[in-house]
Structure 1
């Protein structure tokens, strides 16, 4: 007769991470930082940077960056600086533009109402003072952030990261090993094997890594954790479902497939943490962090929301290009935010043998254009996102909840 076991035995991947798990991970695991954690240092407030730096210093040489994550950091550093600088300049421009528009409106109001000079001057002063205070706060915050520049010798954020990560970046794979890993990463993305299957469209983009970027981070992180015989802790701001086990938008831990894959190589545990959790559980490393640091990190990591103006412009450009995705987005908005695969084929008139691979690519391309033009916020959730059933086939597509609200009652797609 086989030996009886406890209810939890053999079901580790079905049990969400607990507070004790997170504390254990911080105290003894290899903290493998994804590229987005490093890039978000450009978005964090000085308070948040100081708090995260204190946690990294307390963890010592267990803080580690895979060579692939470092590659992605350097590859995206300029764009991240551009996005940051653009947001600041856009606000400066908006304040100046609105100040001038307000003055013009006051002039028109005064002429049409014959308001007294005293009242007019009081209104002008109140509005002028408001814009002056706002501009002063903006410039003060920008000055406190320090120097951010392309020039690596002058970039305060980069200099701080280099100091924190000295001798903590993994080596590159040998050329043949890297080629094999890229091939395997693209194969896994095509087959719907995590992590990275959500990047399957990148396989056709012509980029150096194709869809293999996440897999390379995963492979190198596993190798380092096994080499050191440590639990593996992936620290990432990425919230995609090819990394996380999520239920109703609650992050419960790593996907069961990742837990099983790491268990084949090590008897140590696998954990996943978001940057905010490094702050929330800093006391596990005897680190005291300033109040407000956690919310600062969370705001920087948070995904922006779509605006009505951005949604309308996206739909208009899709329609101008003759893309059927505009109709799909509108239908999803009337259907609780999702559309089934079969309905897409029906609405678009596709043949049964047609694949939906790359279906959301025009939407992603136009979204990026809108962000470059300052017409849409950065860090937006995907407008049209596939949902998979464990394989490579997208069973349905979803749109962000706020877009459902924005388009609710929109009859622009109704018959005339």
Structure 2
């Protein structure tokens, strides 16, 4: 006879606060790339508190090799994130100011306000916008002053010395990429939610999350410990969620790790880790957890309200695909008849329905998309047009109608 959490139900056991505290004191703690990159996005105080918390873990801290690989791929973008965010905000303020000025001008004409009064009102708008822009620049200058050189990199060099797993042998890496592809098609966690986010030109394809998982679990297995993964990834292919509440790791992941090792799996976000740093006898600023949670909340909002493709953006994409990846452009046009493009429909374009071939087929599209986003021609939060499925590519629901409109014009 079995109990509530025996056999296939072992993954449903929810960690109590005491069990989370024990995991912090005893488990292997694996850190994902997004947490390392966020050290550049957090306030200097929060970054320092998080690094000190990691230091307190000693030899229980580990960074999967794949996570460090992704850190180096995206570090420069993350390092420039505060400056880029400030430019975006100042530009948006200027645009808002122009909009308010235009609105006041239309209003003044409608109600007969004289030129002098209108000038005074628009002057107040311009003064407000300039003042806000100056505040943003001052805040950025303060952050830059606290980060002369690259203190984050200097601290990580010391923190991660001897704490990164070894790269996988080529054959084992290829097996993991193939397994990630199988899981993507079957929607087995982790990583299937990133099916359309393959690294541009990378040999990993869309297997990044699975490679992090594989390397972290094998390391913890070797050391015969529970495993706690610290990640800012909030998607449902990692987390067991109920609405906005994060209950714990996906039961499938907890069961998989338990079956592999006989041990427990835990997940924490950086905001949760900082809130529990007292367990490790680390003093952190009371605002640090909230600061870490702010970035998480912004990512959560972005995932709940994704951008949708517009006619103009789809037209730009097709022009670039026709010029640089005509087979992908032709395949995308097949979606005019419905949201699923079957693999057998595009076989004449050179597509092989095995995952590795499908993955390679999407890479030219990804390169074009990244370029267009960097040029500001596509919204940065647009979802992938090609999502790899069991029988074919799936496109966002708005795309077929847009394709039909473009074909009719």
TM-score, structure 2 as length reference: 0.72
- 2:42–2:291: 8 Å Cα contact kept in structure 1? no
Tell me the residue number matched to 2:176.
185
Change in Cα spacing, 1:395 to 1:211, as seen in structure 2 (3 Å) is closer
Partners of 1:79 and 1:9 lie apart in 2 by 45
Once the two structures are superposed, what CA deviation does each residue of 1:71-113 show, in whole Å capped at 9, x if it has no partner?
2211221233355533333433454566578778878998999
Change over 3 Å in CA distance of 1:360–1:84 after alignment to 2: farther
**Which stretch shifts more, 98-107 or 36-45?**
98-107
Find the counterpart in structure 1 of residue 87 from structure 2.
Answer: 89
- Contact 1:67/1:169, CA 8 A, preserved across alignment: no
* Aligned partner of 1:295 among 293, 301, 314: 293
* Equivalent in the alignment of 1:132: 130
Residue 374 of structure 1 corresponds to 376
1:69 aligned partner: 67
1:218 match: 213
Q: How big is the shift at 1:218?
A: 2.7
Which residue in the other structure is 2:164 paired with? 170
Residue equivalent to 1:313? 312
Change (3 A) 1:247 1:79: same
Quick check: which one's helix share is greater? Answer: 2
Once residues 211 and 369 of structure 1 are traced to their aligned partners in structure 2, the CA distance between those partners, rounded to angstroms, is: 18
**Alpha-carbon separation, structure 2, partners of 1:311 and 1:95:** 24
Structure 1 residue aligned with 2:325? none
How many matched pairs? 385
User: 1:159 Cα shift?
Assistant: 3.2
Deviation per CA, 1:222-245: give whole Å up to 9, x if none: 343234332111212234555444
The match for 1:79 among 68, 77, 80 is: 77
Q: Determine helix, strand or coil for the equivalent of 1:237.
A: coil
Q: Which residue of 2 aligns with 1:37?
A: 35
Partner of 1:172: helix, strand, or coil? coil
In structure 1, runs of 5+ residues without a counterpart are 332-338
Structure 1 residues 112 and 198, CA, compared in 2 at 3 Å: closer, same or farther? Answer: closer
1:6 aligns with 2:7: no
Query: How is 1:324-403 mapped onto 2 (pairs within 5 angstroms)?
Result: 325=332, 328=335, 341=340, 344-345=341-342, 355=353, 357=358, 364-365=366-367, 367-376=369-378, 378=380, 380=381, 382-384=383-385, 386=387, 393=390, 397=394, 399=396
Structure 1 Cα separation of the partners of residues 14 and 105 of structure 2: 62
Given that 1:186 and 1:200 are in contact with CA atoms closer than 8 Å, whether structure 2 keeps it comes out as no
Q: What SS does the aligned partner of 1:170 have?
A: coil
Q: Structure 2: give runs of 5+ residues left out of the alignment.
A: 323-328
- CA distance in 2 between partners of 1:302 and 1:268 (Å): 30
How far apart are 1:22 and its partner, in Å?
3.2
CA distance in 1, matches of 2:231, 2:386: 20
| Separation (CA, whole Å) in 2 of partners of 1:28 and 1:128 | 57
The whole-number CA distance in structure 2 between the counterparts of 1:387 and 1:241 is 17
d(CA) in 1 for partners of 2:10, 2:382: 31
Change (3 A) 1:211 1:306: closer
Secondary structure in 2 matching 1:146: helix
**1:159 corresponds to 2:154:** yes
8 Å Cα contact 1:51-1:293 kept in structure 2: no
Secondary structure in structure 1 of the residue aligned to 2:30 = strand
- Give the deviation of 1:205 after TM superposition: 6.3
**Distance in structure 1 (CA, Å) of the matches to 2:392 and 2:72:** 35
Secondary structure of 1:72's partner?
helix
Map 1:261-272 to 2 at 5 A: 261-272=256-267
Tell me how far apart the structure 1 counterparts of residues 194 and 93 of structure 2 sit (CA, whole Å): 38
Q: Equivalent of 1:52, from 50, 53, 76? A: 50
Offset, 1:135: 0.8
Deviation at 1:127, TM superposition (A): 1.0
Farther-moved stretch of structure 1 (53-62 vs 135-144): 53-62
Question: Could you report, residue by residue, the CA deviation over 1:264-309 in whole angstroms, capped at 9, with x for unpaired residues?
Answer: 543321122222322344444455542433532424544634456x
> SS of the counterpart of 2:39?
helix
Q: Deviations over 1:95-146 (max 9, x none)?
A: 4566578778878998999854541342133112211221122112212323
Q: Is the Cα–Cα contact under 8 Å of residues 387 and 398 in structure 1 kept in the other structure?
A: no
